[in-house]
Structures are given as C-alpha cells and as structure tokens.
Amino acid sequence: MPEPSPSPFHFNLAWLLAYLLFLALIAGGVFYGRSRALAIYGSGEAQAEWDTWRADAKKMAEAPHPVKRRIPGSAEPPALVLMRDYFAICLGGSLVLSTVLFGTFMVLVRGAMASGKPFDDRSPHQ
C-alpha cells in the first residue's frame, strides 16, 4: 500500500512559513544595515572625513589629469543619506525583490517535486 502524500495544506503552510521567515531575515538585515550606517556615518568625525574627501576631490577635479574627476554633490556621506532619507524605499525594494526571488525558487522546487514518476528516457538508443 503506498504511503499517503502530505496534504497540500501542510505543503502550502510550510512554504508560507518559509516565506515569512525569509522576509523577516531580509527586513532584519536592512534594519541592521540602517543602524550601522547611521552609527558609522552619522557622527561628526565621519562628516569631517567626508568634507575632507570632497575638498580633495575638488582639487583633483581642477588638476589636469587624463580622467576628469567629478566633485561629489552630496554635503553628507551618501550612505547616511540613503539610509536616513530613503530607508522606506530601500526596505520596500528589498522586500519586493526578495519576494520575486523566493517565488521563482518556490515555483522551480515545486515543479521539480510535482512529477511523481521517474525519468522516461525517450532519446534514440545508439
């Protein structure tokens, strides 16, 4: 007598739990990255380093070189601006792209597992 296959409900519940765990890990990573960026680039020392870099970049842009350097336009470190002013966009984008990645992975795995029969080699024998 063949073993009963697991019900689709349990299988879908497992995928849902895996998806929620995956999203929680992604969101946690983005929040952790934000806290690190604010701690590192939000200090006065980091701002002083950024101002020094901008001044050096301005000098390099004015000097005759084969490659023209652009002066950074941001008055603050870009990582600070990204994680402070555009955090919601970063979080939303991360969750959307992670959802697409997880959905693709789920479809591939479910498709591979759906065929309950063994491989049928139909190639001509040589």
| Total number of domains in the chain | 1
Structural domain of 102: 18-113
* pLDDT for the residue 77: 94
Cα separation of 79 and 87, whole Å? 10
Q: pTM here? A: 0.75
- Residue 6: exposed, middle, or buried by beta-carbon count in 10 A (0-12, 13-18, 19+)? exposed
From first to last of its 126 residues, the chain has per-residue pLDDT tens of: 555 555 556 668 888 999 999 999 999 999 999 999 999 999 999 999 999 999 988 888 888 878 878 888 889 999 999 999 999 999 999 999 999 999 999 988 888 777 666 777 788 876
42 is a domain residue: yes
Retrieve residue 32's tokens.
Answer: 């952790």
125 is a domain residue: no
Q: Among residues 57, 76, 75, 77, which one has the least CA distance to residue 67?
A: 57
* pLDDT for the residue 73: 87
Cα separation of 89 and 51, whole Å? 27
